[in-house]
Amino acid sequence: MTTVIIFCSHCYMRTSITSFQGTDPIPCAGCGREIATPESVSRGARVVVLTPPDTCEHYLLEDSLTIGRDPANLLQLRDPQVGRRHARILRSGDRFLLQDLGGRNGTFVNGERIDRERPLADMDQVQIGGVTITFRHTPVGTP
Protein backbone atom coordinates (compact mmCIF):
# COMPACT_ATOMS: atom_id res chain seq x y z
CA MET A 1 0.00 0.00 0.00
CA THR A 2 1.28 3.46 -0.92
CA THR A 3 1.01 6.32 1.54
CA VAL A 4 1.00 9.84 0.12
CA ILE A 5 1.72 12.71 2.51
CA ILE A 6 0.42 16.14 1.54
CA PHE A 7 1.41 19.35 3.33
CA CYS A 8 -1.20 22.07 3.72
CA SER A 9 0.22 25.43 2.63
CA HIS A 10 -2.28 27.17 4.94
CA CYS A 11 -1.75 25.44 8.31
CA TYR A 12 1.35 23.29 7.50
CA MET A 13 -0.39 20.16 8.78
CA ARG A 14 0.51 16.78 7.26
CA THR A 15 -2.33 14.76 5.78
CA SER A 16 -1.63 11.09 5.01
CA ILE A 17 -3.79 9.28 2.50
CA THR A 18 -3.65 5.70 1.30
CA SER A 19 -6.54 5.76 -1.15
CA PHE A 20 -7.04 8.48 -3.73
CA GLN A 21 -9.78 7.17 -5.97
CA GLY A 22 -12.87 8.97 -7.18
CA THR A 23 -13.21 12.69 -7.81
CA ASP A 24 -13.88 14.20 -4.38
CA PRO A 25 -11.36 16.84 -3.22
CA ILE A 26 -8.97 15.78 -0.46
CA PRO A 27 -9.33 17.94 2.68
CA CYS A 28 -6.52 18.93 5.05
CA ALA A 29 -6.58 16.92 8.29
CA GLY A 30 -5.93 20.15 10.22
CA CYS A 31 -7.96 23.02 8.77
CA GLY A 32 -10.29 21.14 6.40
CA ARG A 33 -9.34 23.18 3.29
CA GLU A 34 -9.08 21.36 -0.03
CA ILE A 35 -5.41 20.48 -0.51
CA ALA A 36 -5.52 18.13 -3.49
CA THR A 37 -7.65 16.16 -5.90
CA PRO A 38 -7.18 12.49 -6.79
CA GLU A 39 -5.81 13.58 -10.20
CA SER A 40 -3.25 15.97 -8.66
CA VAL A 41 -2.13 13.21 -6.29
CA SER A 42 -1.67 10.67 -9.06
CA ARG A 43 -0.02 13.07 -11.56
CA GLY A 44 1.59 15.69 -9.33
CA ALA A 45 5.30 16.12 -8.65
CA ARG A 46 6.43 14.16 -5.63
CA VAL A 47 9.42 12.79 -3.84
CA VAL A 48 9.54 9.15 -2.81
CA VAL A 49 11.58 8.70 0.36
CA LEU A 50 13.24 5.37 1.08
CA THR A 51 14.65 5.01 4.57
CA PRO A 52 16.23 1.86 5.99
CA PRO A 53 15.06 -0.78 6.52
CA ASP A 54 12.11 -0.63 4.07
CA THR A 55 10.01 2.47 4.70
CA CYS A 56 8.59 4.21 1.64
CA GLU A 57 6.64 7.46 1.79
CA HIS A 58 5.49 9.75 -1.01
CA TYR A 59 5.45 13.52 -0.39
CA LEU A 60 3.44 15.62 -2.82
CA LEU A 61 5.31 18.78 -3.89
CA GLU A 62 3.73 22.19 -4.16
CA ASP A 63 6.07 25.22 -4.23
CA SER A 64 8.83 24.35 -1.77
CA LEU A 65 9.94 21.43 0.38
CA THR A 66 12.65 21.86 3.02
CA ILE A 67 14.63 18.77 3.97
CA GLY A 68 16.72 18.24 7.10
CA ARG A 69 17.04 16.77 10.57
CA ASP A 70 15.24 19.64 12.33
CA PRO A 71 11.50 19.06 12.97
CA ALA A 72 10.77 22.50 11.42
CA ASN A 73 11.52 21.02 7.96
CA LEU A 74 8.54 19.80 5.96
CA LEU A 75 10.51 16.60 5.28
CA GLN A 76 12.32 15.63 8.47
CA LEU A 77 15.01 12.97 8.07
CA ARG A 78 16.12 11.39 11.34
CA ASP A 79 19.63 10.53 10.21
CA PRO A 80 22.74 11.86 12.01
CA GLN A 81 24.46 12.41 8.63
CA VAL A 82 21.74 14.89 7.62
CA GLY A 83 22.13 18.58 8.49
CA ARG A 84 19.49 20.48 10.45
CA ARG A 85 18.54 22.41 7.25
CA HIS A 86 20.20 20.31 4.60
CA ALA A 87 18.42 20.92 1.27
CA ARG A 88 15.36 22.38 -0.38
CA ILE A 89 13.32 21.57 -3.48
CA LEU A 90 11.77 24.63 -5.15
CA ARG A 91 9.29 24.95 -7.99
CA SER A 92 10.49 27.31 -10.73
CA GLY A 93 7.79 27.60 -13.37
CA ASP A 94 7.11 24.09 -14.64
CA ARG A 95 10.33 22.57 -13.28
CA PHE A 96 11.84 21.84 -9.88
CA LEU A 97 15.28 22.75 -8.51
CA LEU A 98 17.23 21.05 -5.73
CA GLN A 99 19.29 23.40 -3.56
CA ASP A 100 22.03 22.26 -1.21
CA LEU A 101 21.86 24.42 1.93
CA GLY A 102 25.39 23.63 3.10
CA GLY A 103 24.94 20.23 4.71
CA ARG A 104 28.38 19.04 5.85
CA ASN A 105 27.98 15.60 4.23
CA GLY A 106 26.71 16.97 0.94
CA THR A 107 23.73 16.41 -1.29
CA PHE A 108 24.05 14.02 -4.24
CA VAL A 109 21.97 13.59 -7.39
CA ASN A 110 22.48 10.36 -9.32
CA GLY A 111 25.76 9.86 -7.46
CA GLU A 112 27.15 13.34 -8.25
CA ARG A 113 27.66 15.89 -5.47
CA ILE A 114 25.95 19.23 -6.09
CA ASP A 115 27.36 22.53 -4.88
CA ARG A 116 24.42 24.91 -4.87
CA GLU A 117 21.47 24.26 -7.15
CA ARG A 118 20.51 21.70 -9.78
CA PRO A 119 17.36 21.10 -11.87
CA LEU A 120 15.61 17.81 -11.14
CA ALA A 121 14.31 15.41 -13.76
CA ASP A 122 11.84 12.56 -13.40
CA MET A 123 13.45 9.55 -11.66
CA ASP A 124 16.49 11.48 -10.36
CA GLN A 125 17.93 9.80 -7.25
CA VAL A 126 18.79 12.26 -4.46
CA GLN A 127 21.03 10.98 -1.66
CA ILE A 128 21.05 12.86 1.65
CA GLY A 129 22.88 11.01 4.40
CA GLY A 130 21.66 7.41 4.39
CA VAL A 131 18.33 8.35 2.80
CA THR A 132 17.49 7.95 -0.89
CA ILE A 133 14.83 10.24 -2.36
CA THR A 134 13.45 9.62 -5.85
CA PHE A 135 12.04 12.68 -7.61
CA ARG A 136 8.92 11.96 -9.69
CA HIS A 137 7.35 14.48 -12.02
CA THR A 138 5.06 14.00 -15.00
CA PRO A 139 4.56 17.44 -16.54
CA VAL A 140 1.01 18.40 -17.51
CA GLY A 141 0.20 17.18 -21.01
CA THR A 142 2.55 14.17 -20.78
CA PRO A 143 0.73 10.85 -21.28
Q: What is the reported pLDDT for 36?
A: 74
Q: How far apart are CA 26 and CA 121, in angstroms?
A: 27
pTM metric for this prediction:
0.72
Q: How far apart are CA 46 and CA 41, in angstroms?
A: 9
Q: How confident is the model at residue 60 (pLDDT cuts 50, 70, 90)?
A: low
Q: How far apart are CA 30 and CA 14, in angstroms?
A: 8
Per residue in 81-134, pLDDT (tens digit) is: 999 999 999 988 888 999 999 878 999 999 999 988 999 999 999 999 988 888
Q: Helix or strand or coil: residue 132? A: strand
Q: Is the pLDDT of residue 80 over 90?
A: yes
Structural element, H or E, at residue 127:
strand 125-128
Q: What is the reported pLDDT for 32?
A: 85
Q: What is the reported pLDDT for 114?
A: 95
* CB contact set of 94 (below 8 Å; sequence gap of 6+): 139, 140
CB-count burial class (<10 Å; 0-12, 13-18, 19+) for 142: exposed
Average pLDDT score over residue span 66-70 = 93
Q: What is the reported pLDDT for 112?
A: 96
C-alpha of 19 from chain center: 18
Q: What is the reported pLDDT for 41?
A: 64
